[in-house]
Each structure stands twice: as C-alpha cells, then as structure tokens.
C-alpha cells in the first residue's frame, strides 16, 4: 500500500468515525426530546437502529426531495422521530459489519441508555459478500462448463462464503439476545441485480458483476445482447441461495422476534436499478415500502404510513 493510498484510507476512516459520532449525538438529542414530549402519549414513536451497507447508507447526494437509500426513504413513509440511528456505511460486507471494531461499536450503542431502548434493529448485510468485488469467486470458468448457465455457479466456493455470512448473522442474533433482548431484528433479501456494467458516478465505484463475468469468459454485453437475461439468471440463483440462508438462520434456537422482509422480486429489472447493485430513487422507495409494511405488521399504528 502506497503512502498516498494509506493516507486516503486513514482520511476515509476518520470521516466515517466523525459522521457516525455526529449521527449518535443528534440521535441522543432528538430521543431526549421525544421522551419528554411523548412521556404520556398512548402511541410512542419508534426508536430504530440501522446497521448495514450501502442500501442503508448510499453515498450519492439527494436530488431535491428524492430519497437516497432505504432508511431515508423509510423516513418519508413513517413519521419517525428521532430518525433511525444509522451505524450503516456503504461498502461494508457482513464480515466487516460484524468484525471486532464495528461489533464493539454496535454493542456500546446498545448498552448506552441515552440511545435506547431500541424497538428494532434493521440489518442490511450479505449483498457485498455475494455480488460485490469478490463475485468472480462464485463463478466457474465458462469454458469449463460449456457456457451452460445452470452450471455457472461454483458451488463449493459459494457454500464457503454463505457459511461465513451465516455465521455473521448468527453472531448478530447473539448480540441482540445479550444486549437488546426486547428489540426485533429485521433482515432483507436484496433483489435480483443485473450485470449491466453500470457503476456509481461514471466509474467512481463499480461495476461489480459484469467484469467478473467477463473475467470468467461468460461473454460481454457488446457481443451478446442476451447476456442481460443470462447474467440475471445466474445472479438470481445466487441470491435465492442467500434468501434460503436467511430462512434457515431464523429457524435456529434463540432466533426469536426476527422478521425477514421479502424484497426479492420487488424491483423492475429494467427501470428500478441505478447501477449494478443499487436501486434508483423509486427503487429504494419500493424497498422501503416493504420495510414499512413489515414494521407495521409488528408495531401496528406506530409504523403506520404517513
């Protein structure tokens, strides 16, 4: 790692720490006001904690009134005060989200009485593990399987990463059980991304899927227009496996008060994706609506739409 790269990494980590510190200070201030103003209210506002990746913290500025991610979109749907406390940060994989330092930050937040108690912890994790920069590892070389889409997935490699993701989810459940036993957990499945070769801000970040397919010899968009369909089928198969993992996790002992927000199949593949991994503003709003409905199924009028 060069000195300039190291400096950039340090600056990014410092900025992340500063951003989260500001969010936590604002959450404490707003929660204190809410406790005072709603002390005798029959219906009290929800207190939500959001942990996860770029679906909860998308680093692209809002355009006017348009929401930028699931959490901001959710604030447009439900009267949330305080706003959900976001420990989420773009680019995080589940293995990073629940690594030592960020796990410690989550635990300390749950233990801080000035932040809680939280009614629910919303978690977005697993997408970057499966369809992020490492996507090529879950693919077989096209030549080795005669370009048969059903054989594209490297089952051994995919099983390995799914085991790691599963362990991370189980660890999150353990943290909840120990430090916030009355809080619900809400997980989601993501949706079926398409390898369009589109990135964030004209190549600033990504693309993720298409380069992996090309690297493994699965063709290019220029050569085969049908690649959209074929590539989407392969990505869909992998994300179906992730969804199965979630349902398996919530069937484990101790996995009580967990809701899987069923988001797969929500987005229009041709209209609701801004790039390979992130929805458009309208797409994020559609996913947020699924969260709002899931929250309402548990918290009733406290999560009713505006």
Q: Is the pLDDT of residue 272 over 80?
A: yes
Higher pLDDT, 200 or 152: 152
Domain range for 270 is: 3-303
Specify the pTM: 0.93
Residue 19 confidence (pLDDT): 87
Q: Is the pLDDT of residue 46 over 90?
A: yes
Lowest mean pLDDT segment, chosen from 63-77, 103-117, 183-197, 267-281: 63-77
pLDDT above 90 covers a percentage of the chain that reads 66
Considering only CA atoms, which of 112, 93, 111, 85 is closest in space to residue 23? Answer: 85
pLDDT, tens digit (0-9, with 9 covering 90-100), for 9-36? 677 778 878 888 999 999 999 999 999 9
How sure is the predictor about 224, in pLDDT bands with cuts at 50, 70 and 90?
low
Residue position matching structure tokens 């790691």: 164
| Centroid of chain to Cα 11 | 24
Q: What is the mean pLDDT of residues 244-248?
A: 97
DSSP H helices in 135-208: 155-179
Q: What is the DSSP string of 202-228?
A: TTTB---HHHHHHHTT---TTT-TTHH
User: Which CATH number do you get for residue 116?
Assistant: 3.40.50.1110
Residue position matching structure tokens 């008060």: 257
Q: Is the pLDDT of residue 67 over 80?
A: no
Measured over all CA atoms, what is the biggest interatomic distance in the chain, rounded to whole angstroms? Answer: 68
Give the integer Cα–Cα distance in Å for 32 and 81.
11
Give the integer Cα–Cα distance in Å for 106 and 286.
27
pLDDT, tens digit (0-9, with 9 covering 90-100), for 176-212? 999 999 999 999 999 999 898 898 877 678 899 999 9
Measuring CA to CA, how many Å separate 108 from each of 70, 230, 281? Answer: 24, 45, 33
Q: How many domains does the chain have?
A: 1
Contact 59, 286 (CB under 8 A): no
């Amino acid at each position: 790692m060069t000195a300039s790269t190291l400096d950039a990494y340090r600056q990014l980590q410092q900025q992340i720490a500063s951003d989260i510190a500001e969010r936590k200070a604002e959450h404490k201030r707003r929660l204190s006001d809410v406790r005072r103003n709603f002390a005798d209210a029959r219906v009290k506002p929800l207190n939500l904690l959001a942990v996860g990746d770029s679906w909860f913290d998308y680093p692209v500025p809002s355009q006017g009134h348009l929401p930028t991610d699931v959490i901001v979109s959710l604030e447009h749907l439900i009267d949330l005060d305080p706003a959900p406390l976001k420990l989420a940060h773009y680019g995080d994989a589940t293995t990073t989200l629940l690594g030592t330092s960020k796990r410690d930050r989550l635990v300390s937040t749950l233990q801080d009485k000035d932040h809680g108690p939280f009614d629910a912890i919303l978690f977005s994790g697993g997408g970057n593990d499966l369809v992020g920069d490492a996507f090529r590892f879950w693919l077989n070389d096209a030549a080795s399987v005669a370009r048969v889409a059903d054989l594209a997935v490297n089952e051994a490699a995919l099983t390995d990463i799914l085991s790691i993701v599963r362990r991370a989810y189980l660890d999150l459940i353990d943290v909840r059980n120990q430090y916030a036993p009355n809080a619900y957990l809400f997980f989601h499945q993501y949706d079926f991304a398409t390898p369009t070769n589109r990135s964030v801000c004209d190549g600033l970040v990504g693309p993720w899927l298409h380069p992996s397919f090309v690297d493994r010899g699965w063709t290019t968009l220029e050569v085969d227009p049908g690649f959209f369909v074929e590539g989407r089928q392969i990505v869909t198969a992998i994300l179906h496996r992730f969804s199965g993992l979630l349902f398996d996790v919530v069937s484990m002992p101790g996995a009580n008060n967990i809701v899987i927000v069923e988001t797969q199949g929500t987005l229009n593949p041709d209209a609701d994706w801004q790039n390979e991994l992130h929805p458009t503003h309208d797409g994020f709003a559609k996913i947020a609506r699924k969260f709002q409905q899931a929250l309402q199924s548990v918290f009733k009028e406290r999560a009713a739409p505006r």
